[in-house]
Structure 1
Amino acid sequence: MLKKALAEEGHIVCHKTLDTVAPAICSGFATHPHGIAASLALRLAQAGVLRIVPIQPDQKG
């Protein structure tokens, strides 16, 4: 899963937010050194184009 997300400039969705209105990027992936560099969404957030909204693991969108 990690290799595919990195290769496709994607990310991994948090398992606790699957099937919700607002699925979130997995915090483990978002803090992974390769994840930050490879993910288009995270790079756009770093550039200020997108906004990161942290959620609590038990909170659903």
Structure 2
Amino acid sequence: MVKKAVAEEGHIVCHKTLGTAAPAICAGFATHPSGRTASLALRLARAGVLTIVCVQPEQEDER
């Protein structure tokens, strides 16, 4: 999954935010050495074109 996202300059969506109104980039992918440099969205955020907003997904028992 990581190799595909890196090859396509994409990212991986956080599994806890799938199906929500605000799916987020996986924090693990955002800190992965290859992921953070290859992802177009993360590069745009570092360039100031996009804004990074950190979220805390709901806990499964709170849903």
The two structures have a TM-score, normalised by structure 2, of: 0.89
Note the 1:1-61 alignment, pairs <5 A: 1-58=1-58
Distance 1:19 1:34 in 2: 26
Q: RMSD value over aligned CA atoms?
A: 1.1
The structure number with the bigger radius of gyration is 2
Distance 2:45 2:10 in 1: 13
Distance 2:37 2:11 in 1: 11
Gaps of 5+ in 1: none
Compute the displacement of 1:53 (Å): 0.2
Q: Specify which structure has the bigger relative contact order, considering alpha-carbon pairs within 8 angstroms and separated by 6 or more residues.
A: 1
The two structures have a TM-score, normalised by structure 1, of: 0.92
Distance 2:18 2:56 in 1: 14
Gaps of 5+ in 2: none
Compute the displacement of 1:58 (Å): 2.2
Q: Percent same amino acid among aligned pairs?
A: 78
